[in-house]
Amino acid sequence: MNITIPAVMITAPASGQGKSMVTAALARLHRNAGRKVRVFKHGPDYLDPMILEVASGQPVYQLHPWMTGEHECRWRLAEAARDADLILIEGAMGLFDGAPSSADLAKLLGIPALPVIDAGGMAQTFGALVLGLACFDPELSVYQVIANKIGSPRHGEMLKEGLPKGISLLGAIPRNEAMHIPDRHLGLLQPAELGNLDQQLDAAAAVLEAAGLGELPKAVTIASAEPVKPEALLNGVRIAIARDLAFSFIYRANTDLLLAMGAELHYFSPLADSQLPPADALWLPGGYPELHGSTLANNTAMADAIRGFYDAGKPILAECGGLMACAEELSDKEGVVHSLFGLVPGRSAMAKRLQGLGMHSLTAEQGELRGHTFHRSTLDTSWQPAARTHKQAGTGGEAVFWQNGLVASYFHGYFPSAPRLVAAIFRGQSLIFPSNSEKNHA
């Protein structure tokens, strides 16, 4: 059964326009008004969803026609629409950037785009920019726009007066410290690092309310769709998952899938704990080990436990930050070298610029695992990769190492895209990669 619900894609002409904080503040504004708000994020992102979950009080999932698949985009939206009062989707980059772009996702789901535009230093040109965004793709609906960082009420009036016919100004947001969350090299700070996040979100919501952004978007019809039920491929398998400030890049959909396949999940902190929970497999996700190198290095009991797990030949998945921590040494952004877990010979080191960015996939006999890379470090190791990921656009696949049950790479996988391959990794089963299967039985 189709469902009608207010829904909108919050986007922008480029990154850095303020759409993440506007999305979070809108979610908090409507939540404070007594509405149940479900928020989604277009594309691969770990940090924005953390903020959006705090803002909305509800789980946040990724929607991406290539990474998650079109059917999953539809059923997640339909599932949220069944009991929510409002759906917000935060776009990625600029409205038409990427393949698929935020505009592509909006069209797929039949949802209008709501551009957030940094209007600082702009007057009549604001209207021209809005006209371009609204007319570039006639299949995309754009009927409202948000002006961000205006200098004065008169500035907001000028922007409103210059809008093209058929497009209204939902609100003009003044510059306000409540609308800013600090960031670092991989994105926003994590909620646990922001002691006053709830208070700031309430303050940001009040800024939006005063700017007239309290009205609900138009209702749209969400088509009914049902999820695909995964097989119980991990029935009874106990998976220990690192989760703390150093290892926090975990998609909700990934842990949902592990549970749906029958796994038992046990979380631990490599920063604070001295031993692993009882487990058959170990997952070291991405995060910020480079910010906690000293603490990780000094926790020798945990390092010993992880090395013992590896020496026993038990399955380990190490993604990005997890791979960095598995190296013998990690050189942080100040050049300080820390001795870490020592599973992978060599050193990981922070670089001055991005070393990997984009959508990638890893193909094995058990399926094609889709995901992405986004890292500012390098790995110097004597190990040879068992396989390389395929970059969706351009060249530069990431190395995938496979040794003694350890699968390690800078690649972040979206587990629901390849349940059989994920199950094989956590069961320690043989992996056969088509391009170089001769080398894959390390």
- The residues, ordered by sequence, that sit 6+ positions from 300 with a Cβ below 8 Å of its Cβ are none
Q: Please give the structure tokens belonging to residue 334.
A: 């100040």
Residue whose structure tokens are 């609100």: 171
Residues designated as active site: 320
d(CA 282, CA 298): 21
Q: Which neighbouring-strand residues pair with 89?
A: 9, 40
Nearest in space to 27 (alpha carbons), one of 73, 58, 61: 58
**Can you tell me whether residue 357 is helix, strand or coil?**
strand
Residue type at 139 in one-letter notation: E
**Can you tell me whether residue 14 is helix, strand or coil?**
coil
DSSP assignment of 268-293: E-TTT-SSPPS-SEEEE-EE-GGGSH
Q: Please give the structure tokens belonging to residue 378.
A: 């390098």
Dmax (CA) for the chain in angstroms is 70
Q: Please give the structure tokens belonging to residue 278.
A: 């009882």
